[in-house]
Amino acid sequence: MPVESLDLSAAAPAAPICVARINGVAVHGESESLAAEELRQRACTELLRQAAIEAGLLAAADVASADGVISEAASCAIEALLERDLHSPEPSDEACRRHHAAHEAAYRSGERVRLRHILFAVTPGIDVVALRQRAEACLLDVRCHDGKASAGNRFAVAASELSNCPSGERGGELGWLGTSDCAPEFSREIFGHSEVGVLPRLVHSRFGLHVVEVLERDPGVAQSFESVRGAVANALRQQAFVTALRQYLRLLAGKATVEGVDLDAADTPLVQ
């Protein structure tokens, strides 16, 4: 049956959104549809807010937020809670040296990449599920052409037709970029790697979802361990903090009544 002949007025109404709750407290509005990552973010923040109240660090009268923005008092209380309850060991010199040897590329100076992208922007009110589906379809399309003679033109056409970035008019070209030229979450996905070509995954940033093709890499100059010792130690401290935070949140979730959200998903930042 042709699409034009379908009676859309007879379509079944959309299923109501299941509101996610922590111990009965909603973390979003009844009409608000969130990406899985943001939903977990809000749920974990609410777990910590309630834990701060239980610990006596936050007044019980503090009002929960259904829009993801907690009060300043709650933010301070959560910070105090984590400082009190999370204890991470200081990385040893040996651990720092091993980390540096295994991640030498991440500590190079002057690394640059030449790339192009197709941006699927996340804007207020957008259907993030449909947006991801469009981005994944685009990624599959350009990946299927990667390595073929037509690959360059196919990516450029897709960028001009689909990208929400002004670079779409140039086929998605962004030119040569350094780490300071990109949002931190974007940089982590691009720099310190050896991949060239269309990346096999969507890259997430505060702007939305990106289909990315790395055209060239300039690896920069390797730095000695002594010159980046401080940065290596900070990286290991951050890793230890994230691990401890995940374990802490799992303990809180195990004691709570969690509805409508999966807090066990791997590789998801649980709290900013």
Render 179-194 in DSSP notation, one character per residue.
GGGS-HHHHHHHTT--
Q: How far apart are CA 257 and CA 24, in angstroms?
A: 7
CATH 3.40.120.10, applies to 110-218:
no
pTM exceeds 0.85, yes or no: no
Q: How far apart are CA 178 and CA 181, in angstroms?
A: 5
Would you say how long the chain is, in residues? 272
Q: How far apart are CA 116 and CA 215, in angstroms?
A: 8
Residue 32 has pLDDT above 90, yes or no: no
In the chain, where does the domain assigned CATH 3.10.50.40 lie?
110-218
Q: How far apart are CA 79 and CA 74, in angstroms?
A: 9
Which one has a higher pLDDT value, 259 or 108?
Answer: 259
**Segment 192-244, tens digit of pLDDT:** 888 899 999 999 998 999 999 999 999 888 889 999 999 999 999 999 999 99
The confidence score (pLDDT) of residue 236 equals 95
Q: How far apart are CA 208 and CA 120, in angstroms?
A: 6
Strand, coil or helix: what is 114? strand
Q: Where are the alpha helices (DSSP H) in the chain?
A: 36-54, 72-85, 93-102, 128-145, 151-162, 184-190, 225-255
Residue 185 has pLDDT above 60, yes or no: yes
How many alpha carbons lie under 13 Å from residue 173 in its C-beta half-sphere? Answer: 9
Average pLDDT, the chain: 85
Q: What is the mean pLDDT of residues 110-128?
A: 90
